[in-house]
Amino acid sequence: MIGVDTDGAVTVINTQARSMLGLGPGDEAVGVRLEEVLRLQDQEGRSWLDVNRPYDTLATVRGIPEQSWLNPRAEEILTTARLVRDERLGPVTGIAIALRSGRGRARLDRERSDLVATVAHELRSPLTGVKGFVQALLNRWDKLSDDQRKLMLTTVNADADRLTRLIAELLDVARIDTGRLQLYPRECPADVLVGRVVESVSHSTSREIHLDVDPSTPEVFADPDKFTQVVTNVLENAVRHGEGRVDVSVAPHDAGWPAVRVVVEDEGEGIPEEIRNRVFTKFWTLGRGGSGLGMYIVGGLTRAHGGVITIADATSGGARVIIDWPQEDLRPD
């Protein structure tokens, strides 16, 4: 932070600002003209004062939005400024300039680039399949048998479903990240919802899925669609990446608050303890394919309801995913 008076002299500058501007311990700053202290330039070599001219701006201007500059070490510095006026529409009597490092923005830009690259890769794969089979159907329709046409159209349909799921996942991620997730919670029978998920997933796999429900299991407070989405993702992950039988249990639980505990166990290799927290980050796949968004969404939906999800070791040595879901409204404010 830098404070400047009506004459353009620095009145206050903190340690962080001195460091960003490359000022040493013996360099004077307080009482020195701003242009000699705020040694920031844009890509064209213009200074902050040359570009913004805060003392000559319109009387209605109260601040200067965030701008990107380079310090003497060629590091990006982001600045914002507030113009102080003793009276409305009066002359500028002081300036408060805030500086922050651009490293955070650079990291955000890298994350966005990674997101674009990952999404492009995930979209390209099914689109390539759709394009290839449609082109083959158009070029060789009369030469293909009915069975061949049906096989190609079935594959195109499966790829279209994959694209739809990916787009839905991306929308969920965006809503979770921006806090715009819409929930319509109410009291729901956890045992019934989990039972439906187990039945649905069982139809699409040859793996044995065993369900154990405590008859005293109470209702949960949940958006039933989101609760079903959470359990489905966890169970499908266990089926896809685990081995042997998958065990699912539902029972009441005291988590420090009234909860219903849903546990999904497989007989696979498990997940090492040191990387379990990373399972709930974006694009985590551990080389197992998929978009890497499913468990991030699971974590976000569970937390949005006030619940907790953890990973432990199953008795068989595989992974044990534990979902503690509130029986009452515990959504964070």
In the 3-class helix/strand/coil scheme, how is 143-207 assigned residue by residue?
Answer: HCCHHHHHHHHHHHHHHHHHHHHHHHHHHHHHHHHHCCCCCCCEEEEHHHHHHHHHHHHHCCCCC
Q: Are residues 263 and 314 in the same domain?
A: yes
CATH of the domain at 24: 3.30.450.20
Would 224 be classed as within a structural domain?
yes
Q: Which of 128, 83, 76 is nearest to 104 (CA)?
A: 76
Q: Are residues 207 and 282 in the same domain?
A: yes
Residues 208-242: tens digit of each pLDDT: 999 999 999 999 999 999 999 999 999 998 888 87
Q: Are residues 71 and 170 in the same domain?
A: no
State the total domains in the chain: 3
CA distances for 315 relative to 5, 27, 226, 247, 312, angstroms? 69, 65, 28, 11, 10
The b/e string for 159-169 (b: 16+ C-beta within 10 A; e otherwise) is: beebbeebeeb
Q: Is the pLDDT of residue 119 over 80?
A: no
pTM of the model: 0.63
pLDDT at residue 82, rounded to an integer: 94
pLDDT at residue 333, rounded to an integer: 72
Q: Are residues 219 and 288 in the same domain?
A: yes
Q: Which of 157, 300, 323 is nearest to 238 (CA)?
A: 323
Handedness of CA 250, 252, 258, 261 (dihedral sign): negative
Type of residue at 319: A
Token readout for 207 is 């793996």
* End position of a domain, from candidates 67, 85, 101: 101
The fraction of the chain above a pLDDT of 70, given in percent, is: 95
CATH of the domain at 252: 3.30.565.10
pLDDT at residue 83, rounded to an integer: 95
pLDDT band at 195 (very low <50, low <70, confident <90, very high): very high
Residues 39-62: tens digit of each pLDDT: 899 888 889 999 999 999 898 899
Residues 238-294: tens digit of each pLDDT: 888 877 899 999 999 999 999 999 999 998 788 888 788 888 887 776 655 566 788
Is-contact 311 320, C-beta < 8 A?
yes
Q: Is the pLDDT of residue 84 over 70?
A: yes
* End position of a domain, from candidates 70, 101, 132: 101
Q: Tell me the C-alpha distance between 34 and 42, whole Å.
A: 16
Domain that residue 82 falls in: 2-101
* End position of a domain, from candidates 143, 178, 213: 178
Q: Tell me the C-alpha distance between 62 and 83, whole Å.
A: 5
Sheet holding 308-313, edge to edge: 209-213, 246-254, 258-265, 319-326, 308-313
Can you tell me which residue has the tokens 């499913």? 294
Q: Are residues 217 and 320 in the same domain?
A: yes
Would 312 be classed as within a structural domain?
yes
